[in-house]
Amino acid sequence: MKNFKKQFPLLEQYTYLDTAASGLLPEAVLEFRQDHDLDFLIGGSIFRENREAMFLKVRKAVGDLFHCAPNLVALTPNFSYGFNLLMEGIDRSKKVLLLRKDYPSVNWAVESRGFKVCYAEIDENLEQNVAEAVEKEKPDIFAFSLVQYINGIKIDPAFLLKLKEQYPELLLFADGTQYCGTEKFNFEASALDVLGASAYKWLNAGYGNAFFLFKEHMQEKIAPKELELKDLRGKNKPHKGSFIGKFEPGHLDTLNFGSLKAAIDLIEQIGIDKIESRVRELSAPAKEKLAERGLLESAVVNRKLHSSIFNIKGDEKLFQKLRSNKIICSMRGEGIRVSFIYFNTEADLDKLLRNL
């Protein structure tokens, strides 16, 4: 991993524990962006003539990484945009289960549209809470984040499979923005019906790019006719009103989605297996040592499964102390959020602990 750490010059000056807020821009992505804009500068519309070929490569790269057919991969500017389009195409009579205090872009998109809504609590018994809510409320859809943005609580994928087995008609819509890029994930084999994610965090792809993955049967579940904004044609969008075309109205940005492709190429070069292993090697001792110091909430301490995001007890004074010692993190919720990605090291964790 040391060689890949060189992709991020900021790490020479700072201890970066803030990927949950924003990933860093790798040099490999910067190089693509510089070449892209030079080609656009000297090529103009001639350069743009090849845009569909690029988007095909981007969809394939996303599909290969997360195991989804390219024709069921939609490219959107961000998660919120895509998720709002998704919910716009859902019958308002449907009942939706949400997690209370989940990421606002998930909950607002549902609550603001007048769906019948019920809730499950996010705590150490998250899966049990969801199971009880599904049994009691009989929702049509469960919309949720795979990893909670404030404290890093991660829902058990094995539980989701059991839930889907027990309630096969229940649709599962997941936000993977705080998850995608941290470990291997097979969308086709998962319980999810839809997975969306912005790529500026754990994929380190810069801003302005996101993706949505769909199971085949979702084409029959979503029918937002009002979203047929233009005649979209191409290999993955063969006719007017095609499914993916509903989520890609207007022009797509070759710079931003090309950046996503470049970022995925870097992940493939490193190896998602190695990334997953490295993240776990860092998150396990981080949880143990932060818990020993009484800095984590009980809901996190008492769960076996967790991500690499932690919210530690601390105020503005401690936050400013960390910043003054070149430790980059964020104030979130009631404390200070830190997060570990594959380019972090045990030395980064030790430095954090010393300053706490």
Q: Which two tokens stand for residue 327?
A: 């430790």
Q: Residue 32, Cα to own-chain centre: how many angstroms?
A: 22
Sequence-distant (≥ 6) Cβ neighbours of residue 93 within 8 angstroms: 116
* The Cα angle at residue 238 between residues 233 and 244, in degrees rounded to 5: 85
Q: Report the DSSP pairing between strands 116-120 and 95-99.
A: parallel
Segments of the chain with pLDDT less than 70: 1-2, 223-241
- 29 token code pair: 């992505």
Maximum distance among all alpha carbons in the chain? Answer: 62
Dist. CA 245–CA 229, nearest whole Å: 9
Q: Which helix (H) or strand (E) holds 196?
A: strand 194-198
pLDDT at site 1: 64
DSSP states along 319-331: HHHHHHTTEE-EE
Q: What does the pLDDT look like over 87-108, one tens digit per residue? A: 999 999 999 999 999 999 999 9
| 289 CA to centre of own chain | 26
In the chain, the amino acid numbered 290 is: L
Task: Decide: residue 135, CB within 10 A, 0-12 exposed, 13-18 middle, 19+ buried.
Answer: exposed
Q: Are 290 and 83 in contact (CB under 8 A)?
A: no
Residue pLDDT, tens place only, 260-277: 999 999 999 999 999 999
| Predicted local distance difference test score (pLDDT) of residue 47 | 81
